[in-house]
């Protein structure tokens, strides 16, 4: 089966491509650096020719509100139109848990717009909403810096290892379209400020993390329901402490 992975050279995409190739499928890693661009449409029709499944894990190069919305709307429209022309039978997309619950976040508004385009396209689809990746905890912590301290929300969230997300995407790509949304999260809920302290302690950084209910995450204030699955969800197997220890071994 021919499967095209949009964003196939990134963190998640590379993992998904490798998993699907190991199962014997013809997998194309599509990205601007491989000659496929969903914004300009360069190479898009050629890449999708003969494809049965498309997995879209591409992300915006800018998280600024206007730019990120334009990216997901333009890329989404171009990709879905090309899929319809090529007769693609299953569109699998990676999104974010909480898109519909956080309208103050420009990034999550843009992901919701992407989801709505998929649902309206008429192409059979499966959307996987994932919680934040362990791999981005450093960026979350650093973005919360306020002088010599960090201000992070004490709201619960449920981050997940990128490897676990890629495994779910690969499984969904090989299954029948659900024409619906599936959520996946890490195995344990934890306050965001607590995971920040755990991460800094692991790194030997003695700076203080302050629990601040007004601290913003991608432009929005959080509560315990903002970034966690609200119903039955799939759970990754990797715990944050184990991922941290494994990161030392990888390094």
Q: What is the pLDDT of residue 248?
A: 64
Q: What is the pLDDT of residue 187?
A: 96
First to last CA, the chain: 35
Q: Residues in the chain with pLDDT < 70?
A: 248-251
Q: What is the pLDDT of residue 77?
A: 98
H helix or E strand, kind and range, residue 21 = helix 11-22
Query: For residue 133, how many other CB atoms are within 10 A of its CB?
Result: 21
Closest listed residue to residue 168, CA positions, set 120, 69, 237, 222? 237
Q: What is the pLDDT of residue 231?
A: 82
Q: How far apart are the C-alpha atoms of 92 and 44, rounded to whole Å?
A: 17
Q: How far apart are the C-alpha atoms of 89 and 83, rounded to whole Å?
A: 8
* Residue ranges per structural domain of the chain: 2-250
Q: What is the pLDDT of residue 230?
A: 86
Give the CATH superfamily of 2-250.
NAD(P)-binding Rossmann-like Domain (3.40.50.720)
Q: What is the pLDDT of residue 218?
A: 84
């Amino acid at each position: 089966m021919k499967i095209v992975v949009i964003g196939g050279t990134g963190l998640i995409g590379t993992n998904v491509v490798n998993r699907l190739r190991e199962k014997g499928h013809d997998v194309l890693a599509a990205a601007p650096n491989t000659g496929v661009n969903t914004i300009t449409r360069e190479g898009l029709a050629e890449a999708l020719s003969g494809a049965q499944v498309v997995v879209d894990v591409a992300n915006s190069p800018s998280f600024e509100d206007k730019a990120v919305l334009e990216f997901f709307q333009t890329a989404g429209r171009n990709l879905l139109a090309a899929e319809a022309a090529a007769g693609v039978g299953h569109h699998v997309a990676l999104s974010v848990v909480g898109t519909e619950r956080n309208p103050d976040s420009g990034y999550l508004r843009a992901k919701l717009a992407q989801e709505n385009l998929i649902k309206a396209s008429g192409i059979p689809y499966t959307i996987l909403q994932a919680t934040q990746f362990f791999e981005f905890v450093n960026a979350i912590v650093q973005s919360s810096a306020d002088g010599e301290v960090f201000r992070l929300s004490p709201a619960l969230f449920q981050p997940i290892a990128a490897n676990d997300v890629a495994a779910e995407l690969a499984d969904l790509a090989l299954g029948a379209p659900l024409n619906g949304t599936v959520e996946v999260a890490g195995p344990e809920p934890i306050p965001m400020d607590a995971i920040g302290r755990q991460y800094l302690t692991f790194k030997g950084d003695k700076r203080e993390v302050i629990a601040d209910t007004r601290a913003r995450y991608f432009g929005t204030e959080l509560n315990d329901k903002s970034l966690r699955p609200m119903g039955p969800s799939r759970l990754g197997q990797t715990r944050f402490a184990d991922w941290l220890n494994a990161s030392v071994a990888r390094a």
